[in-house]
Amino acid sequence: MKKSTFVTKEQLDHIVKEFPTPFHLYDERGIRENAKALKEAFSWNPGYKEYFAVKATPNPFLINILKEYGCGCDCSSYTELMLSDAIGVKGGDIMFSSNDTPAEDYILADKLGAIINLDDITHIDFLEKTIGHIPETISCRFNPGGLFKISNDIMDNPGDSKYGMTKAQITEAFRILKEKGARQFGIHAFLASNTVTNEYYPMLAKVLFEEAVRLKKETGAHIKFINLSGGIGIPYRPDQDPNDIRVIGDGVRRVYEEVLVPAGMDDVAIYTELGRYMMGPYGCLVTTAIHEKHTYKEYIGVDACAVHLMRPAMYGAYHHITVAGKEEEPCTCKYDVSGSLCENNDKFAIDRMLPKIEKGDYLIIHDTGAHGFSMGYNYNGKLRSAEVLLKEDGSTQLIRRAETPADYFATFDCFEIGKKLLQNHL
Ligand SMILES: *Cc1c(COP(=O)(O)O)cnc(C)c1O
């Protein structure tokens, strides 16, 4: 499928006057349409709820849009809990799916009334000692081990992942939790990431639904919800076909009717914790070509670098690039598109065929709406960029300002040198 952008060169000419590049730009219309389609795809299940994975895009303005469609928050850390609380997502609208969890995180999760999803059987004791009781509603993360396959294709390797409990452990965990007063149970698993196939969720659902039937039978636990977690992916590459959420929702419904309904479990709610699927395609990184370099290869140097989008450097991930205004020009030039870090992996694209780029051109790096800004860092003293929302009416709204040197040096503010660093630049 041809990849298109949600912003034009003409719009960008206007936007950069107010917000200099680089910045992450988000598409309000796309976020809304997608959230609505997801809700509809699972509307057959009365208890259905999406808990947006906050770590993907921890911006309160964006999460507030999702909240309008009934989404809660899936948090994994103290600050993510704080963020959810601040935007009024509380109690059972927060799923706390953490691992290797610090005590203070459990304390805050409990204070906010979040649903706690335990990653390990040893966390039962740890939680009870930390918060002084076991919540009435509690969830456990399951890891079936082995390889997770869809028709002979290996999707991922749960047996090699640090998350979740074995079959024996989750059974024991349910027994212990029940004894300690838990009344409503949830089961959670995340077995493959960024899947671009309509089959992943229905296959995962089958594994979890059968597990739920077994756990109910063996422990007598009342299973309130099954959390399919994240993992629905997006087509980063032009040759990939996007998932069809209606087909996915319907596939899960069929497994529900096949496995849960005959077992008398037709009151189980389906939860999801999607991150990438909710936001990924609806964000882009806008950067300006500021240099070109001709050595053993052809380089285009841009004003963004890996601190603004780490995925290419970290995973060799593909992110499509459009040169704004040159959408219809032939891709006749082979470039490495690089940032300014003192790291040779700081490249947004390697040997990428693109239209001829002039200095001053805007490059639109696609699909940065999830796990983009949020994975940012400050290496080389680089500053995090702004985040800007492109609203449905075509206007823009600043939803996070760019960092300044004062932000970078803020953690020296309790020292003499901190005052000097800040004074010299303000
Ligand atoms: C990262 C994560 C998600 C979201 O994953 P996506 O691939 O962005 O959908 C959901 N749940 C948990 C527990 C996670 O760690």
Tell which residue, 52, 34, 95, has the closest CA to residue 224.
95
Residue 155: what pLDDT? 79
Q: Would you say residue 426 has pLDDT above 70? A: no
Q: What is the pLDDT of residues 361-386, one digit of tens each?
A: 999 999 999 999 999 999 999 999 99
Residue 2: what pLDDT? 85
Best of 161, 229, 278 to mutate for ligand 1, by most ligand atoms within 8 A of CB?
Answer: 229
Q: What is the pLDDT of residues 94-115, one digit of tens each?
A: 999 999 999 999 999 999 999 9
List, in order, residues 6 or more apart from 241 with CB less than 8 Å away: 1, 196, 235
Backbone angles phi, psi at 65, to 5 degrees: -65, -45
Q: Would you say residue 341 has pLDDT above 90? A: yes
Given a contact cutoff of 8 angstroms between Cβ atoms, the answer to whether 6 and 390 are in contact is yes
Distances in Å between the Cα of 119 and the Cα atoms of 112, 166, 167, 232 are 19, 10, 13, 21
Q: Which amino acid is at 287?
A: T
Q: Whose CA is nearest to atom 7 of ligand 1?
A: 231
Q: Whose CA is nearest to atom 13 of ligand 1?
A: 97
Q: What is the pLDDT of residues 248-285, one digit of tens each?
A: 999 999 999 999 999 999 999 999 999 999 999 999 99
List, in order, residues 6 or more apart from 376 with CB less than 8 Å away: 307, 308, 309, 310, 384, 385
Q: Whose CA is nearest to atom 3 of ligand 1?
A: 230
DSSP, collapsed to helix, strand or coil, labels residue 125 as helix
Is the pTM higher than 0.95? The answer reads yes
The mean pLDDT value of the chain amounts to 96
Q: How far apart are CA 388 and CA 254, in angstroms?
A: 40
| Mean pLDDT, range 306-331, rounded to an integer | 97
Q: What is the pLDDT of residues 168-185, one digit of tens each?
A: 999 999 999 999 999 999
Q: Relative to the CA of 163, which ligand 1 atom is closest?
A: 13
Q: For the chain, how are helix, strand and coil distributed in percent, rounded to 5?
A: 35, 25, 40
| Mean pLDDT, range 402-406, rounded to an integer | 95
Residue 160: what pLDDT? 87
Q: Would you say residue 425 has pLDDT above 70? A: no
Separation of 51 CA from ligand 1 center, angstroms? 10
Tokens 């003192």 sit at which residue? Answer: 342
Is 31 or 150 the better-scoring residue by pLDDT? 31
Tell which residue, 184, 179, 374, has the closest CA to residue 269.
184
Separation of 274 CA from ligand 1 center, angstroms? 6
Separation of 272 CA from ligand 1 center, angstroms? 9
Q: What is the pLDDT of residues 183-213, one digit of tens each?
A: 999 999 999 999 999 999 999 999 999 999 9
Distances in Å between the Cα of 332 and the Cα atoms of 8, 262, 327, 353, 356 are 22, 59, 13, 6, 7
Best of 141, 272, 273 to mutate for ligand 1, by most ligand atoms within 8 A of CB?
Answer: 273
Q: Relative to the CA of 188, which ligand 1 atom is closest?
A: 13
Q: Relative to the CA of 232, which ligand 1 atom is closest?
A: 9
Tokens 């739920």 sit at which residue? Answer: 212
Q: What is the pLDDT of residues 208-249, one digit of tens each?
A: 999 999 999 999 999 999 999 999 999 999 999 999 999 999
Q: What is the pLDDT of residues 19-50, one digit of tens each?
A: 999 999 999 999 999 999 999 999 999 999 99
Residue 154: what pLDDT? 78
Ligand 1 contacts (CB < 6 A) are: 53, 55-56, 74, 76, 97, 190, 193-194, 229-231, 273-277, 370
Q: Relative to the CA of 141, which ligand 1 atom is closest?
A: 13
Separation of 296 CA from ligand 1 center, angstroms? 40
Q: Relative to the CA of 55, which ligand 1 atom is closest?
A: 1
Q: How far apart are CA 345 and CA 341, in angstroms?
A: 9
Q: Would you say residue 300 has pLDDT above 90? A: yes
